[in-house]
Structure 1
């Protein structure tokens, strides 16, 4: 009789597990929408282990951030986009970039200075002045600097292949990491979706297009800026117009002038209110005997944070007092107290007002 009961319980338990597995498989199908059987198998492997398990998603590795964006895993997409962009920059920079551009720019700048010093040296020799040695040493120093920078430029040009290989290695590691972490990250999102059905599901084509455009924009801009620094100058500085800035400043000044003229009574009332609070706290902290303030602060700290923080407070107050900063410290405390009072006065009514209105509370 007992064995029969055990068999029935095992059958019921097995049936519950099968029902749960069917329900979970159906949920996975609804969540992934594409390549359903593959993800059911992978999610089962991941869910069966409490620790991280390695799986491979070739499509995620190939598409990279585009796949993560299409699946709604934007934090992963951004992280891998940065890594892949660095890799692409290194590859293009190493193979086609002008690695020594900055060095040659420095050489051109130094050569302009060198021409000036040579002219000064020639003039000094012609006039037999006392600065001949000074100009000669300056010319020799500049010529030496130019030779050193030229050697540096040649060395940089020779490092191109190694920079490109480093970029290729970084790109391979990024692709491998994406293929390994893709299923795990998607399974975690699936678990979140189970508790929050509002999370977007499936493989979104619009999101994939947005990810591709964003990746292309970021990668091309970074490659052009770092590999060909003098080709697109607008990437180095934000394009702006001085007339727009000056016009905006004029509008801002007019706005503040209008507020000052028409809101004088309002701002004066606010100033008086803040001044009342500040003066009261300054009188309390600065005018009260220091030993009373210190004892109250230490006691309040002990009651709210424990004896250790009370000891720290005692040390801090002693430090401020012995160095002659007691009054300034109490003035600062009064300013902080004023800010706290204003936050409470404004924050509590505003919070209650927003909590009673669904639109504001949701916002």
Structure 2
């Protein structure tokens, strides 16, 4: 069976050695498909090393996993007293079956890589002694210990337990405790100013949301929903407010919304300048991005620890913990919005003599408003997700009802309070995103 010379040239470049064999194998697969799978003896004998040499790393790990499983059975059979013939037979059969499957499937996998290589020539191809060395090192690093761990009747402690020094965790924790205590004592005035500032914002918002007569507040919310999002959101908002009122959640819902509003206000106040800074400075972006990654992956309960340590308990530390949890999307989306401003717009303004400040305030920020508003929306959603967690340190609101129901196993009350939180989140989301959905 011969192949066209025009097809032979790229295959020679791709396969290097054994190009004639793979040309024939690929031709058989193209003509008869899976009905006539060509058997690859080299893949059967070399196993994972063949896959590594050809750059098929996913096949390398599959073959290596099958080898290790078979060798574990063989090790258990040989190390057991007396030797277990069933385990021995199972290990041999598994090894043979895995290698036969690899032999029949190797050419199919290699043909698929050849098709991808024809599209993207940057893919690794041919035989590589470096890849063989990598595969051998990986096998040497994983096979012996894994087989010993699962095959031996008794295993040394150094294999199962990470070597560490006893007491290192407690000593490090003591250092952190001492640092927190030093900061608390020496910066008490700063923490007090921050607490008073947050409390002032929160008190003003609670006076507006909670102190305002409920008919007036309900009318304002309904008008906002209608003007910003339309009649459908108006109907949904009216139904949600009716639910909050009928089930006695009105005051607690307004208190929760005040806490969320304070958190989002601080996020907007701090997150927007930081986002602009990250967009303007690569060094700042490289420095702040890992911090944002840590803030987004840290469990939300962990934020309560420094909040209590520096600001005691109550609503102000709950707001600050919520701000730390909800600020990353505000910063990221502000940065993204400014970076997505077309270069042509900035170049046109520069050509007319605009200063960097004029470009920022008259072009970049206005064009980044949709992205910034998405950041505000995400901050609102993440703040509401902290409601129950913040209730642990005295935030009150709807989160307290959920926490109380959880502690006393009152399923009905907890479910009603949870629905109230969901409805509050949905109303805020629809109103904030309403202008964009109408356009």
Alignment pair present for 1:195 and 2:119 = yes
Query: Per-residue displacement from partner, 1:164-220 (whole Å, max 9, x unpaired)?
Result: 211222112211111122111111111111222111111111211221221233221
Alignment pair present for 1:350 and 2:335 = yes
Are the counterparts in 2 of residues 281 and 334 from structure 1 also a CA contact under 8 Å? no
Q: 1:220 to 1:303 in 2, by over 3 A?
A: farther
2:136 to 193, 197, 212: 212
Are the counterparts in 2 of residues 97 and 227 from structure 1 also a CA contact under 8 Å? no
- The alignment's TM-score, normalised by the length of structure 2, stands at 0.47
Q: How does 1:44-193 map to 2 (within 5 A)?
A: 44-48=27-31, 54-97=37-80, 160-193=84-117
> Deviation of residue 40 (structure 1)?
1.2
Q: Which has the higher contact order (CA 8 A, sep 6+)?
A: 1
Deviating more after overlay: 51-60 vs 62-71: 51-60
Whole-angstrom distance in 1 between the partners of 2:196 and 2:116: 49
**Residue 164 (structure 2) aligns with:** 240
> Deviation of residue 26 (structure 1)?
1.1
> Deviation of residue 63 (structure 1)?
1.5
> Deviation of residue 59 (structure 1)?
1.1
Are the counterparts in 2 of residues 286 and 331 from structure 1 also a CA contact under 8 Å? no
Are the counterparts in 2 of residues 286 and 330 from structure 1 also a CA contact under 8 Å? no
> Deviation of residue 345 (structure 1)?
2.9
Whole-angstrom distance in 1 between the partners of 2:182 and 2:147: 48
Q: 1:186 to 1:281 in 2, by over 3 A?
A: farther
> Alignment partner of 2:144: what SS?
helix
Query: Per-residue displacement from partner, 1:47-80 (whole Å, max 9, x unpaired)?
Result: 4467686221111122212211222211221122
> Deviation of residue 296 (structure 1)?
5.7
Whole-angstrom distance in 2 between the partners of 1:286 and 1:199: 66
Q: 1:286 to 1:220 in 2, by over 3 A?
A: farther
Q: 1:53 to 1:232 in 2, by over 3 A?
A: farther
Whole-angstrom distance in 2 between the partners of 1:50 and 1:286: 76
Are the counterparts in 2 of residues 282 and 331 from structure 1 also a CA contact under 8 Å? no
Q: 1:251 to 1:163 in 2, by over 3 A?
A: same
Q: Which structure has the larger Rg over C-alpha atoms?
A: 1
Are the counterparts in 1 of residues 38 and 104 from structure 2 also a CA contact under 8 Å? yes
Are the counterparts in 2 of residues 282 and 330 from structure 1 also a CA contact under 8 Å? no
Equivalenced residue count is 270
Whole-angstrom distance in 1 between the partners of 2:244 and 2:74: 57
**Residue 358 (structure 2) aligns with:** none
Whole-angstrom distance in 2 between the partners of 1:164 and 1:204: 35
RMSD value, Cα? 5.2
Q: 1:348 to 1:93 in 2, by over 3 A?
A: same
Q: 1:244 to 1:300 in 2, by over 3 A?
A: same
Are the counterparts in 1 of residues 76 and 153 from structure 2 also a CA contact under 8 Å? no
Whole-angstrom distance in 2 between the partners of 1:78 and 1:316: 53
Q: Unpaired runs of 5+ in structure 1?
A: 1-17, 99-156, 305-309, 357-363
Whole-angstrom distance in 2 between the partners of 1:230 and 1:303: 68
Q: 1:84 to 1:344 in 2, by over 3 A?
A: same
Query: Per-residue displacement from partner, 1:294-333 (whole Å, max 9, x unpaired)?
Result: x969x979989xxxxx99x999999999877785799499
Are the counterparts in 1 of residues 218 and 241 from structure 2 also a CA contact under 8 Å? no
